[in-house]
Amino acid sequence: MINYDEKIPNNVDLSTNKTLQRALEHWQPRFLDWWKDLGPAVFQNNEVYLRTATSVDREGWATFGMVRMPEYRWGIFLAERDPNRTIGFGDNIGQPAWQVVPGEHRSTLRRLIVTQGDTEPASVEQQRALGNSAPSLYDLRNLFQVNVEEGRHLWAMVYLLHAYFGRDGREEAESLLDRHAGDADKPRILSTFNEPINDWLSFYMFAYFTDRDGKFQLKALAESGFDPLARTCQFMLTEEAHHMFVGDTGIGRIVRRSVEVMNELKSDDPRKVRAAGAIDLPTIQKYMNFWFSSALDLFGSEISSNAASYFANGLKGRPDESLYDDHVAAGEYTIETPRGSESVSMRNAMNEITRAAYVRDCENGVKRWNNIIRKGGIDFELRLPSSRFRRTVGAWANVPTDPAGNQISPEAFAAGIPNWIPTPDDQAFVASVMQPVLEPGKIAGWIAPPDRGINNLPVDYEYVRLAS
């Protein structure tokens, strides 16, 4: 169980390590200042129906209740330790998992933790204005649930930095609050986490595609030979599932509404769909092209000696490493590059192997959305673009292709882009339909209602109490 009597809820016996406890209690007010300044721009003092982790076992870890966000009990929760755990891959396979940081891997592990940690507060910053345009109290609550949990993920990484990396770890923890999404001078580390999220279509795309990158990174780190990192990430994954649910169902509900409107109008003309206040399917496709291609860069270069050494040293595995037969990754892997097929050592292809698993996972939602379209009798298919499209990292960086992945001239690419990703006009239209709807049970006209409420409550429950 988690100890909630302490200032910082935790299941790591924080009270037995006074130095660490003091350091984290020193960081806590800085975190709260950051939350108040750069967390949700509105509704900070309203009660929100939020879940809070109260135990780390798979079942029954969540407690639901009305909470004002600045009073949320952010804490430090690691999955239970398995005293017999061994390193599951790479050159150190079979050796006991590390309970302290091996000196030779210290800076690499710190960098991996900082890079993961940086994404968590970044997304809260990116999403901070969305409360002004929520389509329902149900959606508003889901946004805030995602936000407080990303805040907790920041705590998870800061705990590791403070507990295992001494002074430079504490300095990195400070820097996690000093960089900001989209800041010209001190931006977040990864480019996707500097993109503005100004409308709810972008938010759902982000929760579906970008949080899913997070899932795959956490799965890879959950395999780490550094046991505290593995256990931290295992527990974060239980929270992450809800974020992707929010994205998946959010996009599905926008698609459903678009199909309903087309059937009411007896027309699939995107201009008529827009005039009726819904978002047309070609625009949804453009947003998907943008956020999916942006997320693909997060996996890094197709051929990477860094990824190979993370794997060799047991620092970062493949997601679901246990599903592979060969945990040494001795074989070869074929990678498509602009120069043709290249055979590289499996270890050098780890980023591409993880990206390919991610793409397969992304396809599941696209199938569900297309089912909604097909059942509505509409002749349109959403498609993930090729993983070559619009890349800025790796073998396909700055190689102009169309969304199907065919190489084209730079001129054809420039001419095609307004048809492939959202234009300023598309963004202005999407923003224009997003007028806030804050009455319990009411829903904006551009999105269908959810199938069910949160935690068996009805859809029309007052998930955010407006009278505070």
Nearer to Fe ion, 233 or 443 (CB): 233
Strand partners, 344: 333
Nearest-angstrom CA–CA distance, 269 and 256: 16
Nearer to Fe ion, 239 or 302 (CB): 239
Q: How far is the CB of 221 from Fe ion (least distance, A)?
A: 12
- Rg, Å, the chain Cα set: 22
CA angle in degrees (0–180, nearest 5) for 145-151-154: 145
Q: How far is the CB of 384 from Fe ion (least distance, A)?
A: 20
Nearer to Fe ion, 211 or 352 (CB): 211
Q: How far is the CB of 48 from Fe ion (least distance, A)?
A: 17
Tokens of 64: 């639901």
Which amino acid is located at 259 in the chain? Answer: V
Residue with tokens 């780390």: 56
Polymer length in residues for the chain: 468
Nearer to Fe ion, 157 or 329 (CB): 157
Q: How far is the CB of 406 from Fe ion (least distance, A)?
A: 33
Nearer to Fe ion, 8 or 207 (CB): 207
Query: Is the Cα dihedral 102, 107, 111, 114 positive or negative?
Result: positive
Q: How far is the CB of 418 from Fe ion (least distance, A)?
A: 31
Q: Measuring CA to CA, which residue among 432, 419, 351, 429 is closest to residue 385?
A: 419
Nearer to Fe ion, 149 or 268 (CB): 149
Q: How far is the CB of 200 from Fe ion (least distance, A)?
A: 16
Pairing type for strands 340-345 and 62-68 reads: unpaired
Q: How far is the CB of 420 from Fe ion (least distance, A)?
A: 27
Pairing type for strands 340-345 and 47-53 reads: unpaired
DSSP 12: S
Nearer to Fe ion, 75 or 88 (CB): 75
* Chain residues that interact with Fe ion, rule: CB under 5 A: 120, 150, 153, 211, 240, 243
The number of CA neighbours under 13 Å toward the Cβ of 278 is 26
